[in-house]
Amino acid sequence: MGLGVAEKNKMAERAAREITEGMVVNLGIGIPSLVPNHFKGRKNIIFHAENGILGIGKSPAEGKEDENLCNAGGFPVTLETGGSYCDSSVAFSIIRRGLLDLTILGALEVSEKGDLANWIIPGKKVPGMGGATELAMKTKKVIVVMAQCDKYGKSKIVEECTLPLTAKGCVDLIITDMGVFEVTNTGLRLTEIFTPYDLEDIKRSTEANFDRAAALRFI
């Protein structure tokens, strides 16, 4: 069973709390694209898309989409006042120069070492990795937002990734529908658990080893 709208928005809202004023942020497709809908009182945040946008705004209202304005995943977006367009070579130069403060990506697997696999399932016909490798390796901070388990109930937080890697040791924070894990030098640390789950639910649904924070929070 897939995630519901409320769960997706809860994860996006939690990811939005990692963004501070003045940041330049790239958003992946799916749940990360909901992040601009969850800001209260914060200004001077610029959202970047690798197809050539600086200044992405909230998702457009249904029926108000502009077919010529979309993010890198092809989904409709709006443009903030003062936003701008560029070609993809300039957009990728921004990434490769290390000018992005944060990227928020989806994933198929994340290892306990922070390795990321988010672009292909062997034997399946799916799109290529796009800008994920550059984003994962060159952005100052990488957050993954994903379901705790896949559609078969298998943990997506694993000891070692079995799918082709996007990048090694790049993930700083994992936000799932169950909680939040920090990736540290010594492994994963569970810092938050989301209602209605408890620690035993997390243990059953996580293949990787993890420690719990001394000040573990229940949200």
**Catalytic-residue membership of 134:** no
C-alpha–C-alpha distance, residues 177 and 171, integer Å = 17
Strand, helix or coil at 188? strand
The total of other beta-carbon atoms located within 10 Å of residue 2's CB is: 7
82, 137, 131, 143 alpha-carbon torsion, rounded to 10°: -70
Amino acid, single-letter form, for residue 127: P
Q: What is the DSSP letter of 34?
A: G
Token pair in block for residue 88: 């993809």
- Please tell me the number of Cα atoms within 13 Å of 158 on its side-chain side: 18
In degrees rounded to 5, what are phi and psi of residue 39?
A: -115, 135
Q: What is the DSSP letter of 30?
A: S
What order of strands is seen across the sheet that includes strand 179-184? 79-85, 53-56, 46-49, 24-27, 102-105, 142-145, 173-175, 179-184, 187-193, 210-218
Set 7, 18, 50, 67: catalytic member: 50
Catalytically annotated residues: 50
